[in-house]
Structure 1
């Protein structure tokens, strides 16, 4: 799995990357829009109808509730060698089993007007085309790979303040890269918690790592509970349903005299 900017340790990539990507894409899918109710046809009025009461305007259909983000954006700040404050507003993508898939981080250094978006994806990508970053339905931005390791490939791009403002009010940031079969792989990062994290106070790296570990443990617990329910459902049978009796053996023929 791709390494995270939140952890100093390097995690090795496992063989289940395809399944993990499917799980993440399923979880991070955008909310569906509720369909508007169809008005019933009006009945034909009588010869001398009474004045009809004007119906109240129908309420517009509302979007379905946005899914809760199990891995919210987190802001981590520390001092560099020059005593400057360095902050990362970062987020991870994980599978339902808690395995790390990809991560993204916005880096902001005190005194530096340039802000950089750092991205880590699985190392099954084509390097030359780079990757594309898109906020909702906005313009696709290009990011170049900087280095690859056995566990992850890293890319970075300078990001404008306008794009950061769009992230604060947007729904999703989608990173798209090409795999070795030249097929696109999309990594959607929900933005529902980005503004709160970016404008909030940063926490120290140790606390940030602890929060991520707690979230990972919770995801693992949910996966285990779901697996137990599935196993129990397969094994469970109605208690009052009698078992079908086995057919009685045919009587043996009497020996002939």
Structure 2
């Protein structure tokens, strides 16, 4: 080999070792993340079971724990995304530089490519597995959170329906009481009106009418009651119409 070939070969070997070390920088981080992922995965399984049962568990409490887990996963993804992406890129560079060596196999001996890839590939696969687990856990948390929010929304809708039913029942009761009060009002107003008419008749007399005072008072009773009832209903319809217009 010429000096230039030896120089290029030396440069490639140095690059391979440099990229190999850069590739392995994410391995300690992947191991730490793996432990955290196991704990969060176990917690997610527990929360999913609680969501399925909800016996003695608070929906708001479960949703709060899911939110905290989602924040932890997103923080881990933000912290490791660049490192894992760099690891995969450096690994591709190592493979490319090894391929450029164009080694010849010697019987009974490992080539440099085989030696490095056998030790480097498992580490890269570990990083890739942890990265995929992070993505999977994030997706699962989002799915469980959506289920939890749906359950809470259904519970709120059920409570609103019960509230509307109760309000409708109270409205009917109020309407019945209003009709009762209207009847009592008609009776009370008619009673006092008849009393006033009686005083007026006793004070002025019947004049030329061929009726006695008691008879005149008696004939005035249905007239007064009908008049009071008519005006009361008219006022009621007027206010009801104003209420309907305000609702529109």
Q: TM-score range by the shorter chain?
A: under 0.3
Higher fraction of strand: 1
Q: Which has the higher contact order (CA 8 A, sep 6+)?
A: 2
Greater C-alpha radius of gyration: 2
TM-score scaled by structure 1? Answer: 0.21
TM-score scaled by structure 2? Answer: 0.21
Higher fraction of helix: 2
